[in-house]
């Protein structure tokens, strides 16, 4: 979880304690939430734009899917070193640099003449998103102070859920109406606005890390690696289907706008899943850990056997979205419980593997598309979810022996995000 506020450092090097606000600091918290909303929307936007990107760059749909792969790679590869570097500076300075780079990444994608340039822009964007995820939670808590910390975390994380529910569908609609390049240029402009607002509202805060277990020691804690691998498998399966959902729906012969409806449904049902899994985990963390991937699996089974029936497809998508959002929450909770002796480091392990799952998922989806056809994508994804369910069944005793923090972990982190060293 996010640590308590560390002292500020004045120009002379003396430590000064930041004053806790008496009122909730809406302005900076909403700005952080807006920026995170954009980041999530931009991360997922290729899912509804692949057809236009592929046609414009004269590449296959599978090749266009690498835009998702490189975004995830930038996150997974650079999350730890960039976070360690960022914490050497004031929080506001680090965030300003991140937002400038984030704007640049979207401009690069928007004007890219080739796929290689677009992938490079997405890799840079993924690196920026890694820092957004690691710095924002701590910044929100530090700005709000202990009295308002819970509310601040709720507001900021709610923005990530809205990014899934609204951001990606809006990006898809904008891309279909004005072109995918305009969508990324608009994203860059909005990110620039968020960065400017952030520079005025977010105070300069220096984060200091407490010494804890090493990465290897944390990975050896009972259950940590199993939880992280299970998390990664669910995310891998999610991106196998999500990356090529536009192609899958096109193969079914449904209207083009259904892609936007589908993306919205994934996010909207995800909000419901976030609420429901909190209730389940408050009674049994193990039951929550098992039920989330099972729901995803049921969604993929229904999708595969939908027979092209649009109503059945939408039911399957709703189950899939509900289960994935629940899984993100419960795996974050489980990694905090099993890695409670070093929660930040344990979370970073989970995030690294989850991001690797994103990248591998997009690649597996592309191989499946080219080798077996788009109709088999849900079946391939199902195989990975089954793997996560099998792993979850081995965690019963581990989760029962963990401290009874299910409710706190689950509700404090309604949308999982990397909090390594935050």
CATH number for the domain spanning 49: value is: 1.20.1250.20
The answer to whether position 186 is within a domain reads yes
DSSP per-residue codes, 116-145: HHHHHHHHHHHHHHHHHHHHHHHHHHHHHH
Q: Is residue 14 part of a domain?
A: no
Question: What is the distance between the alpha carbons of residues 272 and 317, in angstroms, rounded to a whole number?
Answer: 13
Burial of 374 (0-12, 13-18, 19+ CB in 10 A): buried
Residues 324-359: tens digit of each pLDDT: 988 877 887 787 678 777 766 677 788 788 878 877
Question: 29 and 101: one domain?
Answer: yes
So what's the pLDDT on residue 158?
A: 66
Contact 303, 317 (CB under 8 A): yes
DSSP-derived secondary structure for 258-279: HHHHHHHHHHHHHHHHHHHHHH
Confirm whether 18 is domain-assigned. no
237 and 160 in a common domain:
no
> For residue 357, what are its two tokens?
């799952």
| SS3 label, residue 417 | coil
Mean pLDDT of 282-290: 85
Backbone angles phi, psi at 113, to 5 degrees: -85, -20
Arithmetic mean of pLDDT, 208-216: 61
Looking at the fold, whether 251 and 173 belong to one and the same domain comes out as: no
Specify whether 151 is located in the same domain as 234: no
CB 30 within 8 A of CB 198: no
Mean pLDDT is lowest, of 110-114, 342-346, 376-380, for: 342-346
pLDDT in tens, 50-95: 889 999 999 998 899 899 889 988 988 888 788 778 767 777 888 8
CB 197 within 8 A of CB 96: no
* Same domain as 281, residue 185: no
Rounded Cα–Cα distance for residues 101 and 96 (Å): 9
Nearest to 46 by CA among 157, 130, 104, 126: 126
Q: Based on the fold, state whether residues 135 and 247 are members of the same structural domain.
A: no
Asked if residue 263 is part of any domain, the answer here is yes
- The answer on pLDDT for 372 being more than 50 is yes
Of 96-100, 143-147, 378-382, 386-390, the one with minimum mean pLDDT is 143-147
Same domain (yes/no): 398, 421: yes
Residue 214: count other Cβ atoms within 10 Å of its Cβ. 11
Q: Output the six-digit token pair for 36.
A: 């995170």
Q: What is the mean pLDDT of residues 92-115?
A: 95
Residue 210 contacts by C-beta under 8 Å, 6 or more apart in sequence?
3
Evaluate if residue 410 carries a pLDDT over 50. Answer: no
Q: What is the DSSP string of 50-86?
A: HHHHHHHHT--HHHHTHHHHHHHHHHHHHHHHHHHHH
Residues 344 and 400 in one domain: yes
- Domain count for the chain, please give it: 2
Pairing label, strands 15-16, 8-9: antiparallel
Q: Which of 182, 210, 238 is the last residue of a domain?
A: 210
User: Are residues 395 and 300 part of one domain?
Assistant: yes
Domain of residue 277 covers 213-422
pLDDT of 352: 81
Q: Domain boundary residue among 172, 187, 210?
A: 210
Q: Ramachandran region of residue 253, left (φ > 0), alpha (ψ -120 to 50) or beta?
A: left
Please list the alpha-helical segments (H only) found in 258-376. Answer: 258-283, 285-304, 310-338, 343-371
Residue indicated by tokens 């749909």: 61
Q: What would the pLDDT profile of 152-178 be if each residue is shown by its tens digit?
A: 766 776 677 677 667 667 887 888 889
% of the chain residues with pLDDT over 90: 36
**pTM for this structure?**
0.67
What would the pLDDT profile of 300-312 be if each residue is shown by its tens digit? 999 999 888 889 9
Are residue 202 and residue 218 in the same domain, yes or no?
A: no
Residue at 413 is within a domain: yes
- What's the confidence (pLDDT) of residue 12? 38
Given a cut of 60, is residue 269 above it in pLDDT?
yes
Same domain? For 89 and 159 the reply is yes
Q: Is residue 191 part of a domain?
A: yes
SS3 category, 113? coil
Q: Is 16 helix (H, G, I), strand (E, B) or coil?
A: strand
pLDDT for position 4:
38
Structural domain ending residue among the three candidates 146, 177, 210: 210
pLDDT score of 235: 92
240 and 338: one domain?
yes
């Amino acid at each position: 979880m996010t640590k308590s506020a560390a002292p500020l450092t004045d120009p002379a090097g003396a430590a000064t304690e930041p004053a806790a606000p008496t009122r909730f600091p809406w302005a900076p918290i909403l700005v952080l939430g807006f920026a995170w909303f954009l980041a999530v929307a931009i991360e997922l936007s290729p899912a509804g734009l692949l057809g236009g990107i592929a046609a414009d760059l004269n590449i296959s749909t599978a090749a266009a899917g690498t835009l998702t792969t490189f975004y995830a790679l930038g996150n997974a590869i650079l999350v730890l070193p960039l976070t360690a570097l960022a914490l050497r500076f004031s929080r506001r300075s680090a965030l300003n640099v991140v937002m400038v780079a984030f704007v640049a990444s979207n401009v690069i994608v928007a004007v890219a003449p080739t796929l290689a340039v677009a992938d490079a822009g997405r890799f840079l964007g993924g690196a920026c998103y890694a820092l957004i995820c690691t710095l924002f939670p701590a910044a929100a808590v530090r700005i709000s102070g202990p009295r308002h910390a819970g509310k601040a975390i709720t507001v900021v994380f709610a923005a990530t859920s809205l990014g899934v529910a609204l951001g990606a569908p809006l990006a898809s609609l904008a891309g279909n109406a004005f072109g995918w390049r305009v969508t990324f240029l608009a994203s860059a402009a909005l990110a620039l606005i968020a960065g400017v607002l952030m520079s005025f509202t977010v105070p300069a805060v220096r984060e200091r890390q407490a010494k804890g277990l090493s990465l290897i020691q944390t990975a050896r804690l009972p259950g940590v690696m199993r939880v992280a691998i299970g998390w990664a498998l669910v995310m891998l399966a999610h991106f196998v289907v999500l990356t090529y959902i536009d192609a899958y729906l096109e193969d079914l012969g449904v209207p083009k706008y259904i892609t936007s409806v589908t993306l919205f449904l994934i996010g909207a049902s995800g909000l419901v899943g976030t609420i429901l899994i909190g209730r389940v985990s408050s009674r049994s963390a193990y039951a929550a850990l098992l039920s989330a991937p099972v729901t995803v699996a049921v969604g993929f089974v229904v999708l595969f056997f939908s027979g092209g029936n649009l109503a059945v497809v939408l039911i399957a998508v709703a189950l899939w979205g509900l289960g994935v959002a629940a899984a993100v929450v419960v795996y974050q909770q489980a990694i905090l419980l099993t890695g409670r002796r070093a929660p930040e480091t344990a979370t970073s392990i989970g995030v690294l593997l989850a991001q690797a799952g994103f990248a591998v998922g997009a690649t597996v989806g592309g191989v499946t598309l080219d080798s077996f056809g788009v109709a088999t994508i849900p079946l391939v994804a199902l195989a990975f979810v089954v793997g996560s369910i099998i792993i979850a069944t081995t965690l019963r005793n581990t989760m029962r022996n963990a401290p009874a923090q299910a409710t706190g972990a689950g509700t404090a982190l309604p949308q999982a995000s990397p909090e390594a060293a935050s």
